[in-house]
Amino acid sequence: MQIARLREFHAMDRREQLGEGLRRMIEDPLKPKTNKGNLRINPILVLLAVMALLAGATFLFFSLVQL
């Protein structure tokens, strides 16, 4: 009986879609959905993206502007 259940478990296609995995990685772990059911992005990722954008802009400013 257990061998049949094990074979059935392995026979099922358990591969996760790429989009679903990416969505699960970027969603807010505490409250992944808004009241309307939309995706809520992790605030830490938003903060890191803003900091990377500011660092890139600062680098470009001081690299391209002659002081």
Q: Which residues of 34-60 are buried (b: 16+ CB within 10 A; e: fewer)?
A: eeeeeeeeeeeeeeeeeeeeeeeeeee
State the pLDDT confidence band at 8, using cuts at 50, 70 and 90: confident
In a domain, 49, yes or no: yes
| Structural domains of the chain, count | 1
In a domain, 5, yes or no: no
In a domain, 12, yes or no: no
In a domain, 33, yes or no: yes
Quick one: what percent of the chain has pLDDT higher than 90? 39
Q: What is the pTM of this model?
A: 0.64
Q: Stretch 32-57: mean pLDDT, rounded? A: 94
27 lies in which domain range? Answer: 17-64
pLDDT of residue 13: 66
In a domain, 3, yes or no: no
